[in-house]
Structure 1
Amino acid sequence: MSDAVTGRLVTVSTKFQREALRPGGINRSGANAASDRSVKAMKADVETQIEAAIVPLVTLLQDWVPAQAAKGCGWAASTRDLAGLAGRHLLTEVAMHAFDCLDAVMIDGVDMRQDEAKVYADALVFAQQDMCRGNDIEPFRPLLKNLKTLTDRIVARAMPAEAAR
């Protein structure tokens, strides 16, 4: 004789199921339509928030003022996070590099030159065009490699001269 406990099936009725079955309840197609409207509204809200963060970030980087690096860091973090949520992976990657650089400027006091800041601004404007939705960022690997190289060079300025050798 086995020591295994035999189970039994129990039917569970959720509140959603009870509401859907009662007269005047919502049917499946109505629920799907309502969820589609809700998702579209959320997507539009996220896109609006991305624009609200990226526009001042690009403006700051085009007219680089090191004293405003903290604001730029906040905008870059918002852009990075929201673009990831929206599936805009190229914009996420570019904003991540901009954030890393601005963080080094703000925290470590690293010097970023005007022409370097403009590179990040140009890359953000390019990524903002939304040419890459989804995970296929392979065509943009050279751009991302160059941004990583620039970010690494700027961040390396924070290291003492002996450690950099």
Structure 2
Amino acid sequence: MPSETPGRLIEVKTKFHSEALKPGGIARSGAHMAAVRSVAALKAQVEQQLDTCIAPLAETLRNWPAPDVAKACEQAAQIRDTAGLADMHLLTEVAMHSFDCLDAVLIDGATMERAEAVCYADALIFARQNRGTNIEPFLPLLKDLESLTTLVISRNRKTA
């Protein structure tokens, strides 16, 4: 297509690249072990970040109505984004529904009952325990959350 800007290749030289070019530099097995340690450390940070957000959000939802819905909405968005980066598909989907519902409450003035909020809290805790990427076994759960989110959003006070 003539209107598209052609892409550019950018050469990135890392410390590993520099060391690997030196005679007697990093051995392949050493580089592999360093990479494994680095990925494990990053994974631990992601897990900690998720726990830091999920526990308070679940507590807020269990004690609904929340005094600070904006903070709960922000936590749901953070969980959704972090879980998406970590390929935690079930948690991403559950957090997305939680965010959509909280956003409707915050922005549109929709109402959510305590029992409904507890469903989101339970779903977040359950989804956090699942480390797999296959969400097919959980499609009924996701369908129920979608229905619940649609119900809460339909209670929009500002347009009613």
Shorter chain as normaliser: what TM range?
Answer: 0.7 to 0.9
**Distance between the aligned counterparts of 2:138 and 2:19, measured in 1?**
49
**Distance between the aligned counterparts of 1:64 and 1:51, measured in 2?**
20
**Distance between the aligned counterparts of 2:115 and 2:132, measured in 1?**
28
Match of 1:46 in 2: 46
Q: Which runs of 5+ in 2 are unaligned?
A: 1-12
Match of 2:145 in 1: 147
Equivalence map 1:84-95=2 (5 Å): 84-95=84-95
Equivalence map 1:150-165=2 (5 Å): 150-158=148-156, 160-161=159-160
| Structure 1 residues 17 and 57: CA distance shift in structure 2, 3 A | closer
Q: Which runs of 5+ in 1 are unaligned?
A: 1-13
Instruction: Provide the TM-score with structure 1 as the length reference.
Output: 0.82
Letter in 1 for 2:47: E
SS of the aligned residue for 1:67 comes to coil
Letter in 1 for 2:60: L
Question: What RMSD, in angstroms, separates the aligned Cα atoms of the two structures?
Answer: 1.8
Instruction: Provide the TM-score with structure 2 as the length reference.
Output: 0.84
Letter in 1 for 2:64: W
For residues 105-162 of structure 1, the C-alpha deviation after alignment (integer angstroms, 9 at most, x for no partner) is 11111111111101111111111112x511x21111110000000101111111734x
Aligned residues: 146
Identity %: 55
Q: Is the 8 A contact 1:105 1:111 kept in 2?
A: yes
Q: Is the 8 A contact 1:66 1:105 kept in 2?
A: no
Letter in 2 for 1:42: L
Q: Is the 8 A contact 2:60 2:66 kept in 1?
A: no
